[in-house]
Every structure is written in structure tokens, then in C-alpha cells.
């Protein structure tokens, strides 16, 4: 019955082509995305689902949290935690694990190995021009961490004429925000500045949150075939909302109460990139070189990390994570007239030294109020960490497209990742801390797909994508509860994704209907294994299956009004729980 319903559903979507055909002489406005191939291409020719949040939606909402705009995309669920923190689910369950790659203008905002599930708060979201969400594995183009999807936030171009906009906001619980923009273009040089200053006391006790962010972009075109884009991004976050939760009685009687008084999260993130593009071969070729630098530091003492060791004795942890990156993205694209052939060859280089410091704390609790009032550092270093881990990655890739017949577009590609960690502990090795070591990983990620245009309004696609992710530095080198000998040997997760769907856009995209069906099979997933009662460790023991359907309908009869409706259904299944004696 399910198969019959699917076939009927696809038939109903494909059948209206005779009714909604374009009138002669009318030029159709193409919907274009860049995340699917790292090149601006019509959505209908990308054999994968790429959801978008357009600039006018972002401008209207001016989101204070990514969920306010991104949850409009079918199959995407961003759940707010505290402040601008979040966890993400795209075709997989909500998780804090490195399943998603966050990018700004196509550049990862964090290096492989230093993933943080909250990292979208390091992007000045209300200043974004557009958000693209590539759903499903994107490893063949972007490498490790993109096995669940990639979220690409695109910055705004400088305005052609002088532009100044100031948006002050104020609200309850001490909320205020000031957004400011200044932009202009002088001859062949454009400049844009977007500022964001946000504060809230929080609706719950001791959950104040402050954020300052700035995005600077300049566009320079020295001649007709060369362009240089510079982007500087900075975020400073000071949050006190890492709550420990409440008992049922307190939640029902005083939900604004908080047990924590000293919890904090402080983040400083800075990124700098230069995107140099040069057209060659009379416009048939393009050379792109993007050197970039990023630095990031987070200090954290979370309320959710406090636990009892018996009686009125509580422990917590104080963390510091920091890294910097020196990277280079290189690409050469060449278009051939026969069969509209396009070849893209590129490479990614990433050198990211990082440090991790964690100290166990002794937490004092007032038994009359149940509040954690203060903490000191534990004199024992058994559960402490102090190490540096340097990630290095060299990743060439190839992407090709060809149309053997006019309406058919074939896409193939592959990426080879050669990655390594050099780990050095500054504390003596024990059952929680592995000895200084190095780990290397290599992997090939292929992809293939095709699209077929039934009419100018209706196209269908089918695709296969293979993905993987290497264990993060925390997975490998934090063997808590005496599991260091196991975690340091973790292997990459692998995933195979199969997807088919249709993309439609009628009446100059005033009416759109996109639908897709997918199946993803994951192997060697890193899951918790209970060694004994109360003791678990990470192992490559999971084999899971993720399948579902996504539908998005958009209607915009007039410029001033529109309606978007999305539906998604997903099913997550453990196929096998295979326990290895080593990993």
C-alpha cells in the first residue's frame, strides 16, 4: 500500500504540466542555489534537496534565534536550548553529535574535530542574505561532518546606493536589541557593515544573555573578469542560561526558578576570508582561491553538568576549548559546449591547532533552596584534561555534469579526504586520558545523480550520496569513566543515502511544490555501550536506518503576501547493535 501511495503521489505532482505550462514569450525566473555544487546553479538541476530561507523572510523576521526561520524548511528542526543555543535534526534524530556542517558563504565556520552543536550562534543570523540547507550527506563536496546535511548562511552584498538602517527593539525580561546596517558602493568597491547588540535578563532566574556581533563585507572588481570578496565576522557571547533543569514540583509551582547561580558560557569567534575569482578561457573557465583564518574560544561551566556523588556532595566541570585555523579552498571550473558539460576540480586544506582544558569542580548546594551557590576546584586531577590536538586535512575533489540529451542532466563526483590528529596530553596518561598519540584517517566519498526536466516547470531527480565523519577530538581523547583505551581507537561513521523527488515552480515561481523521499543507512555509528551498570563508553556499534518523506508548498500570489506550508515524516530505526571488543 505504501508503494502504491508513493507512485500515485508522484504521478499527481508530475501530471499538471499541460495545465501550468509557461506562455510563449514569458521568461521564467530561475531559482538558484550555490550549496549543492559550490556553483550557482538552477535548483531544478541539482539532484538533491536544498531547502532555502530567502532574504525577504529573514529581513521580515529579523531572527533572534535560528529556529525562527530555519524551522520553515521541510525536514529541518532546530530546537532552542538556552540563549541562542540549539540542537539540530535534519533527517536524523535531535543530537549534539557532529552530524551537520555549518558554513558561511561556503566556508565551514569550525574545523573538523572541533564541532559544537550550538555553533550557529557564531553567525550574525539577522544580517544574512539567504540560508540554504542541503539535506542528506554532502561529504562528496564538503567532507567530514556533513553526513546529515549542511547549513550555508550567505552574507549580504553591499548596496549600490548609500544605505543606513537602525532597528532598536525592547521587550519583557529586560530584552533589548539594536541592529544597525551601513552600506554603499563607490565605483568598483562596495562595503557593508552589519552590527548586532542583544541583551536579555531571561525569563528564568540567572539566565541573562548578552551578544555582540559584527559582519563586514567588501566586494572589489578591479576588472571585468576578476572579483575579490572579503568577509570579516566576529561574535562575542556571554550567557548564563546553562540551566540544570527543575524538579516536577518546582516546574509546576515556580517555573522561573533556577538551581544554578554561577553557570556560564562565554564564546569569542572571529573569521576572516578572501574570495578571489578570475574568469579565464573567454568566460568558459573560473579559478577561485579562498584563503581563510578563524579563531574560536569557549569557556563553559554548565549547570547540566552538575551531578551527585552521594549525599550532599556534588561535582561539575569547568571547560575551556580553543582553536585557530589556517585554510585554503581552491577550485577550477570549466564549461564545455558539447552536452553542456561542466567540470569542477578543487581542493580543501585545513590546519587547525586546538587546545582543551577541563577541571573537575566541587559544587556547594544550599539544601534549603536547592541552589548550587559556589564551586571550588577538585584537588584530584584524575578526571581532568589538558591537551592540544592539531587537525590537518588535505582533500581534493572532482565534480562533473553532462546533458546527453537536452532535458537530462547527469552528475557524478567524488572527494578524497586525508586527515590526521596530532594529540599531546600535558597531564599523565591514565584510564581517562590516553597517552600522546596520532590518528590518521582517509576516505573516498562518491556521489551520483540525475535530473530530468519534464517541462520548464517540472523536474524530477534521483541520487546516491555516500558520506562519512571522523571522530571528533572529544570522541577520541576524552575517555571518561576509564574508557580511554577504547575511545582513542574509534573509527569513522559511514552512511549511504538514496533519494528521489520532484521540484516544481509555476507562474514565475508564484506556486511551488517540492517533494522528496529518502533512505539513509548508517554503519559504524558512534553510540554509548553499557560496559557495566552505570558505566558506558563510546563504540562504533550502531547500524541505523533513516527514511522519510518531505513536502514543501509555496504560494505567493502578490509581492506583499505569501504562504508556505511544509510537511515531513521520518522514521529512525536501529537495524543492528554490534558490539566490538575494541571499538
pLDDT tens digits, residue range 531-549? 665 667 788 888 899 999 9
Report which DSSP code applies to 144. T
The SS3 call for residue 433 is coil
Confidence at residue 471, expressed as pLDDT on a 0 to 100 scale: 92
DSSP-derived secondary structure for 70-106: HTTSTTEEEEE-STT-EEEEESS--BSSS-EEEEETT
At 115-151, the pLDDT tens digits run 999 999 999 999 999 999 999 999 999 998 888 899 9
**Given this model, what pLDDT does residue 431 score?**
87
In contact, 332 and 391? CB cutoff 8 Å: no
What is residue 8's predicted lDDT score, i.e. its pLDDT? Answer: 36
CB 438 within 8 A of CB 450: no
**Alpha-carbon span 77 to 70, nearest angstrom:** 7
Correct CATH for 2-20+47-577 of 2.60.40.420, 1.10.510.10, 2.40.170.20, 2.60.120.10:
2.40.170.20
CA–CA distance, 118 with 71 (Å, rounded to integer):
16
Residue 181, CA atoms < 13 Å, CB-side half-sphere: 21
Query: Is the separation of the CB atoms in 446 and 140 below 8 Å?
Result: yes
pLDDT, tens digit only, all 583 positions of the chain: 333 333 333 433 444 333 333 334 434 456 788 887 888 888 889 999 999 999 999 999 999 999 999 999 999 999 988 878 889 999 988 888 888 999 999 999 999 989 999 999 999 999 999 999 999 999 999 998 888 899 999 999 999 999 999 999 999 999 999 999 999 999 999 999 999 999 999 888 888 999 999 999 999 999 999 999 999 999 999 998 766 678 899 899 999 898 888 889 999 999 999 999 999 998 899 999 999 999 999 999 988 888 888 888 899 999 999 999 999 999 999 999 889 999 999 999 999 999 999 999 999 999 889 899 899 999 999 999 999 999 999 999 999 999 999 999 999 999 999 999 999 999 999 988 999 999 999 999 999 999 999 999 999 999 999 999 999 998 899 877 777 888 899 999 999 999 999 999 888 888 999 999 999 999 998 887 776 656 677 888 888 999 999 999 988 888 778 888 999 999 999 887 766 555 5
Q: Please give the C-alpha separations between residue 259 and each of 84, 205, 375, 401, in angstroms, as whole numbers.
A: 20, 9, 14, 57
In sequence order, what DSSP letters do the residues of 453-506 get, joined into one string?
A: ESSSSEEEEEEEEEEEEPPPHHHHH--GGGTHHHHTT---EEEEEEEEEEEEEE
Q: Which is it for the CA torsion 103, 109, 113, 118, positive or negative?
A: negative
Task: Identify the three-state secondary structure at position 39.
Answer: coil
> CA–CA separation, 484 vs 341, rounded Å?
50
Residue 30 CB partners (closer than 8 Å, separation 6+)? 42, 43, 44
Nearest to 175 by CA among 124, 214, 211: 211
Q: What is the 3-state secondary structure (H, E, C) of 160-187?
A: CCCEEEEEEEECCCCCEEEEEEEEEEEC
Cβ pair 131, 110 in contact under 8 A: no
> CB of 247 within 8 A of CB of 253?
no
Please, which residues bridge with residue 561 across strands?
Answer: 558
pTM for this prediction: 0.90
Q: Long-range pairs for 160-167 at CB < 8 Å and ≥24 separation?
A: 160/185, 160/190, 161/185, 167/62
Cell of 331: 577550485
Amino acid at each position: 500500500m505504501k508503494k502504491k501511495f508513493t507512485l500515485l503521489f508522484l504521478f499527481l505532482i508530475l501530471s499538471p504540466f499541460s495545465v501550468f505550462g509557461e506562455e510563449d514569450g514569458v521568461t521564467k525566473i530561475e531559482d538558484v542555489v550555490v550549496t549543492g555544487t559550490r556553483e550557482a546553479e538552477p535548483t531544478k538541476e541539482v539532484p538533491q534537496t536544498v531547502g532555502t530561507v530567502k532574504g525577504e523572510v529573514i529581513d521580515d523576521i529579523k531572527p533572534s534565534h535560528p529556529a525562527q526561520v530555519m524551522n520553515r524548511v521541510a525536514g529541518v528542526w532546530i530546537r532552542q536550548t538556552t540563549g541562542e543555543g540549539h540542537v539540530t535534526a535534519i533527517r536524523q534524530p535531535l543530537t549534539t553529535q557532529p552530524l551537520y556542517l555549518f558554513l558561511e558563504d561556503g566556508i565551514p565556520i569550525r574545523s573538523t574535530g572541533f564541532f559544537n552543536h550550538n555553533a550557529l550562534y557564531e553567525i550574525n543570523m539577522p544580517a544574512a542574505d539567504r540560508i540554504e540547507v542541503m539535506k542528506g550527506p554532502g561529504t562528496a563536496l564538503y567532507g567530514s561532518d556533513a553526513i546529515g546535511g549542511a547549513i550555508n548562511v550567505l552574507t549580504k552584498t553591499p548596496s549600490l546606493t548609500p544605505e543606513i538602517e537602525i532597528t532598536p527593539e525592547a521587550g519583557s525580561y529586560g530584552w533589548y536589541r539594536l541592529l544597525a546596517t551601513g552600506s554603499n558602493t563607490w565605483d568598483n568597491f562596495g562595503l557593508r557593515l552589519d552590527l548586532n547588540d542583544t541583551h536579555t535578563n531571561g525569563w528564568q532566574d540567572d539566565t541573562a544573555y548578552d551578544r555582540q556581533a559584527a559582519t563586514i563585507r567588501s566586494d572589489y572588481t578591479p576588472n571585468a573578469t576578476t572579483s575579490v570578496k572579503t568577509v570579516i565576522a566576529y561574535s562575542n557571547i556571554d550567557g548564563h542560561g546553562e540551566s540544570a533543569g527543575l524538579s516536577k514540583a518546582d516546574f509546576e509551582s515556580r517555573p522561573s526558578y533556577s538551581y544554578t547561580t554561577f553557570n556560564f558560557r562565554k564564546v569569542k569567534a572571529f573569521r576572516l576570508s578572501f574570495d578571489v575569482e578570475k574568469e579565464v578561457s573567454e568566460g568558459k573557465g573560473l579559478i577561485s582561491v579562498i584563503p581563510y583564518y578563524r579563531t574560536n574560544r569557549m569557556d563553559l561551566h554548565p549547570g547540566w553538568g552538575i551531578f551527585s556523588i552521594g549525599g550532599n556532595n556534588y561535582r561539575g566541570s569547568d571547560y575551556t576549548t580553543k582553536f585557530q585555523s589556517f585554510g585554503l579552498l581552491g577550485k577550477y571550473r570549466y564549461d564545455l559546449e558539447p552536452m553542456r558539460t561542466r567540470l569542477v576540480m578543487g581542493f580543501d586544506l585545513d590546519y587547525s591547532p586546538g587546545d582543551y582544558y577541563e577541571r573537575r569542580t566541587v559544587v556547594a548546594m544550599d539544601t534549603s533552596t536547592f541552589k548550587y551557590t559556589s564551586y571550588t576546584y577538585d584537588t584530584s586531577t584524575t578526571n581532568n584534561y589538558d591537551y592540544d590536538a592539531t587537525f590537518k586535512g588535505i582533500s581534493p575533489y572532482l565534480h562533473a555534469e553532462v546533458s546527453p540529451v537536452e532535458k537530462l542532466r547527469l552528475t557524478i563526483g567524488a572527494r578524497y579526504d586525508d586527515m590526521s590528529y596530532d594529540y599531546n596530553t600535558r597531564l599523565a596518561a591514565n584510564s581517562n586520558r590516553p597517552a600522546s598519540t596520532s590518528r590518521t584517517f582517509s576516505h573516498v566519498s562518491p556521489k551520483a545523480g540525475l535530473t530530468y526536466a519534464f517541462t520548464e516547470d517540472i523536474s524530477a531527480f534521483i541520487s546516491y550520496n555516500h558520506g562519512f565523519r571522523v571522530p571528533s577530538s572529544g570522541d577520541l581523547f576524552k575517555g571518561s569513566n576509564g574508557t580511554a583505551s577504547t575511545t582513542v581507537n574509534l573509527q569513522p561513521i559511514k552512511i549511504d543515502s538514496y533519494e528521489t523527488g520532484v521540484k516544481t515552480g509555476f507562474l514565475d515561481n508564484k506556486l511551488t511544490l517540492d517533494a522528496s523521499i529518502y533512505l539513509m543507512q548508517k554503519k559504524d555509528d558512534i553510540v554509548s555501550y553499557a560496559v557495566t551498570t552505570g558505566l558506558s563508553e563510546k563504540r562504533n556499534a550502531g547500524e541505523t536506518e533513516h527514511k522519510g518523506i518531505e513536502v514543501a508548498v509555496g504560494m505567493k500570489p502578490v509581492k506583499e503576501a505569501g504562504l508556505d506550508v511544509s510537511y515531513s515524516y521520518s522514521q529512525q530505526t536501529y537495524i543492528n547493535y554490534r558490539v566490538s571488543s575494541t571499538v
